[in-house]
Structure 1
Amino acid sequence: MKTNEQYDVVIVGGGAAGFTAAYQASHRGLSTLVVEKGRNTGGSGEYIEGAFAVDSYLQKEHNVALTKEDVLNEELEYSHYRADTQVWKEYIDASADIIKWLKDLGVEYLDVAPLGSGYRTWHLFKGLGKSVIHDVLEPKAKEQGTDVIISTTVTKVNLDNNGNVSGVELEDLSNHEKKTVATKAVVLATGGYLNNEDMIKNDTHYDAEQIIPVNSEKNTGDGLKLAWDAGAQKYAMGTAMLFGGYLKDHTKPGYVYRYSELNGAADQQSLLWVNENGDRFVNEEVVDNFALAGNALCTQGKVFTIVDQSTIDHLTDDQLYKQMGTWDYHDTKLPHLKEEMQKAFDEKAPYLTKADSIHELAEKVGLEDLEKTIEHYNELAHSGKDTDFGKKADFLIPVENGPFYAIELGVGAFCTMGGLKTNTEHEVLDKAGKPINGLYTAGNDAAGMLIGDTYGPNMPGTEAGFVFYSGKHVANIIYDQLKG
């Protein structure tokens, strides 16, 4: 734990928001320390695919017609006006400059794209967030003098007698050595609390058993707890970035299935979904908006995708029923689907069940209404009209040629948002709504100001874009307050 005794700013969390803040702070001449609890930096920011912006140079190249006013109004309506208007306005105004700023630093983009039925706001990174962090922000921050320590946790943010930040308490996780570092500014950038089951159970409406985290597995609410212990108010808890179904396998980390073709087939092809009783419960085209799909799945105790061998053959040998956005799948079909399924059977994967008849499948999985549901669903498929939920005929795929498969889905989630109330300068507010002087936050820890009860994938990349915007902005605010 080699550090100086004092820094201008200490950043808790070595992910995308943390290293954005570290780069900008050290670029402005502030002495900077990044404290990362993991053995490696990067965190869940490594999985970021792209960042939101309005009126960027890439959008102008593609003649994207989208105004800042349109975006602001839609995001406020999407959040039912639970989002902070001023935070959104300032973020939108700065978003195009952030994309250009990252490009000038060396970040490469693949394109600007929509997601599903959303708008073309997703500026896709070459090499994902992993490249942005490790090839650009982190090395440049270190070149400018930023100190980085790993396997170390911040156990407390110290306040002086006037309630101002005066330092942090550190603990080396390898040998439990403890140390105090003085500072007047602390930035909490720990990525939220998706991997804290107690917080999910106690502070959200989600069933922790259903949620499948697809992240670095290090986001356990550390920054939120540090802030609450320092007197911050708990605010806007209860929202995760859900993205529809995800193979329910609690024996493995969620990220191993991120680009699984079986996962894509079960979640993104609008095939038949049934609940724990074997009943259909939604128009499966909801997958076109992944956050709404996640909400729909959360209304059920369990969810299964039911398919027959003809569907598996079609997806493997012929073509997809629908394209799957910018995910890293084959363009037209799923050529490895059958081998993935065989591997799952060989490993006795808990989410995959096979039977020679629907009756046998229903008994194996415990779905008492499945036979009745399949009989009715096949009638709808052959008629070409979904009189139950209105799904388009193109996706009414009959389930009639065995063997038959049940694929159990949990609800995939990338991150949580919120927990702290902030102002537009990313200062953490206390229970009276006043800033805790010297305590700031960025990224997911600060994103409760952006949302209502559901993440808005209609404007893809908003959370990732906010990570970079808030990291840069908070560093500039700290410089102004310390040196200005």
Structure 2
Amino acid sequence: MSRFAPVMRKLHKECEEKGAQIFLKTECKKILQAEDGSVRGVLAVGEDGVEYEIKAKCVIMATGGFMGRKDLLKKYFPFYEEDFFGFYVPNMGDGLTLAEEAGAALEGHATLVRETCHSSDAMKEHFLTAAAREPNTMWEETSGRNLQIGANAVLSQPGKKCFTLYDDNLVQEIVDYGYLVPRYPNKDENKQFKINLQEVATRKEWVIQSDNWDEIAEWIGCDAAVLKASVEEYNSFCAQGYDETFVKDRRYLKPLLKPPFYAIKFGVMVVETCGPVRVNENLEVLNKEYQPIPGYYSAGVIVAGWQGHDCNGEHLFGSELGFSINSGRIAGENAAKYALGKEAK
């Protein structure tokens, strides 16, 4: 269950207590407008095919993103690959169609929020994702050179994949003390980390285990001399306590010295889309002349202009909730003022 579910249950209860009608499994098909373009309601269809024409002075559109639409993902994000992984809700971007048909302006770009990193697709192997993101490891490009953390850096690699390197000492640290960046609430999982890692490594799909860097370089597909030189340089930085290349926090400078060594392959994890419906500060949907469409409001991730077009990093799941809640509040306040004939401030 989502950890946000209690919030939604609370909101649902308050809506019912205040007399709101909630239509489940009912799809909005059209924003109804008067001749002057102002909103006068919506046309919706229930699961049983029954149509509802709901009259309203204003409408707030909060339909979520479009993670379920591969065509839109390809349109807005040319770098998108269908094997990108993510725990997201596959919304179909219905709001984009509704907005366009109502004369709304859509920006020519949107944002695909993404983070590093994701390893094996098998849920029972999610420990690989946790292991790949540990800060005291070494990241490698497909060329065998040291890499700084970041989803965009991974996307720039051939195959959009990179590698995390471990030695036996680092593996044992997780067994003894757990992950430095705990992501999954299983306090005993780390005790089985070495056993699980070695078991998965036998397949050589997401992990390889070897006593020498030459075999690991062959699996990665890079020049062994380049990989070994990169590891030697990194180890020297660990010894002196200063990373001359990326100025990595010295707390996490741990050398790779004790075999067996491991390489874990990983890619990016996608979170959500943001945009591209254009709004103003009152969350009023704008037309192609940048003027508000009277009575039409929008909130949540479908709204453009609140998130940078290059949002990537670490631990971004849930990062859209703050804006979604607050934009919904602002849109609701202004929609209520509009319905009551009061001017939004």
**Alignment match, 1:129:** 4
**Alignment match, 1:263:** 129
Q: Check if 1:222 corresponds to 2:90.
A: no
Work out the CA distance in 2 between the residues paired with 1:186 and 1:335.
53
Amino acid at match of 1:388: T
Q: Check if 1:295 corresponds to 2:161.
A: no
Q: Check if 1:352 corresponds to 2:210.
A: no
Work out the CA distance in 2 between the residues paired with 1:270 and 1:424.
43
What secondary structure sits across from 1:200 in the alignment? Answer: helix
Task: List aligned pairs for 1:221-370, cutoff 5 A.
Answer: 221-235=93-107, 237-247=109-119, 249=121, 260-282=126-148, 284=149, 293-300=150-157, 301-318=160-177, 320=179, 323-324=180-181, 327=183, 334-338=190-194, 340-341=196-197, 344=200, 350-368=205-223, 369-370=226-227
**8 Å Cα contact 2:279/2:285 also seen in 1:** yes
How far apart are residue 433 of structure 1 and its match? 0.6
How far apart are residue 186 of structure 1 and its match? 2.4
Amino acid at match of 2:165: I
* Aligned alpha-carbon RMSD (Å): 3.4
User: Could you say if the C-alpha distance between residues 236 and 179 of structure 1 is closer, same or farther in structure 2, counting changes exceeding 3 Å?
Assistant: same
Amino acid at match of 1:130: A
**Alignment match, 1:138:** 12
Q: Check if 1:188 corresponds to 2:188.
A: no
**8 Å Cα contact 2:114/2:312 also seen in 1:** no
Deviations 1:6-50, CA, capped at 9 Å, x for gaps? xxxxxxxxxxxxxxxxxxxxxxxxxxxxxxxxxxxxxxxx75xxx
Work out the CA distance in 1 between the residues paired with 2:97 and 2:257.
52
**8 Å Cα contact 2:37/2:294 also seen in 1:** yes
Deviations 1:138-179, CA, capped at 9 Å, x for gaps? 122223333333333323323333222334343445x6x252
**Alignment match, 1:464:** 321
How far apart are residue 206 of structure 1 and its match? 4.0
What secondary structure sits across from 1:148 in the alignment? Answer: coil
**8 Å Cα contact 2:212/2:260 also seen in 1:** yes
What secondary structure sits across from 2:209 in the alignment? Answer: strand
User: Could you say if the C-alpha distance between residues 261 and 169 of structure 1 is closer, same or farther in structure 2, counting changes exceeding 3 Å?
Assistant: same
**8 Å Cα contact 1:274/1:303 also seen in 2:** yes
**Alignment match, 2:281:** 424
Work out the CA distance in 1 between the residues paired with 2:312 and 2:208.
34
Work out the CA distance in 1 between the residues paired with 2:212 and 2:29.
56
Amino acid at match of 1:267: R
**8 Å Cα contact 2:116/2:313 also seen in 1:** no
Work out the CA distance in 1 between the residues paired with 2:104 and 2:19.
31
Work out the CA distance in 1 between the residues paired with 2:312 and 2:275.
14
Amino acid at match of 1:303: C
Deviations 1:409-437, CA, capped at 9 Å, x for gaps? 22223322221111122111111111222
**8 Å Cα contact 1:357/1:402 also seen in 2:** yes
Work out the CA distance in 1 between the residues paired with 2:65 and 2:339.
27
**8 Å Cα contact 1:247/1:263 also seen in 2:** yes
Work out the CA distance in 1 between the residues paired with 2:20 and 2:204.
45
**8 Å Cα contact 2:136/2:254 also seen in 1:** no
Deviations 1:360-410, CA, capped at 9 Å, x for gaps? 222233233434433433343334432322224432322233333222222
User: Could you say if the C-alpha distance between residues 366 and 462 of structure 1 is closer, same or farther in structure 2, counting changes exceeding 3 Å?
Assistant: closer
Number of matched residues? 334
Deviations 1:438-478, CA, capped at 9 Å, x for gaps? 221111112x23233344989x9874222222222222222
Amino acid at match of 1:227: A
Work out the CA distance in 1 between the residues paired with 2:333 and 2:167.
57
What secondary structure sits across from 1:472 in the alignment? Answer: helix
What secondary structure sits across from 2:208 in the alignment? Answer: strand
Work out the CA distance in 1 between the residues paired with 2:54 and 2:294.
15
User: Could you say if the C-alpha distance between residues 273 and 391 of structure 1 is closer, same or farther in structure 2, counting changes exceeding 3 Å?
Assistant: same
Q: Check if 1:179 corresponds to 2:51.
A: yes
Amino acid at match of 1:149: F
Gaps (5+ residues) in structure 2? none
**Alignment match, 1:450:** 306
TM-score, with length taken from structure 1: 0.60
Segment of structure 1 superposing worse, 385-394 or 268-277: 385-394
User: Could you say if the C-alpha distance between residues 457 and 269 of structure 1 is closer, same or farther in structure 2, counting changes exceeding 3 Å?
Assistant: closer
Larger radius of gyration: 2
Work out the CA distance in 1 between the residues paired with 2:216 and 2:312.
37
**Alignment match, 1:401:** 258
Q: Check if 1:197 corresponds to 2:70.
A: yes
**Alignment match, 1:100:** none
**8 Å Cα contact 1:261/1:329 also seen in 2:** no
Work out the CA distance in 2 between the residues paired with 1:246 and 1:467.
25
**8 Å Cα contact 2:139/2:146 also seen in 1:** yes
What secondary structure sits across from 1:147 in the alignment? Answer: coil
Work out the CA distance in 2 between the residues paired with 1:354 and 1:168.
59
What secondary structure sits across from 1:405 in the alignment? Answer: strand
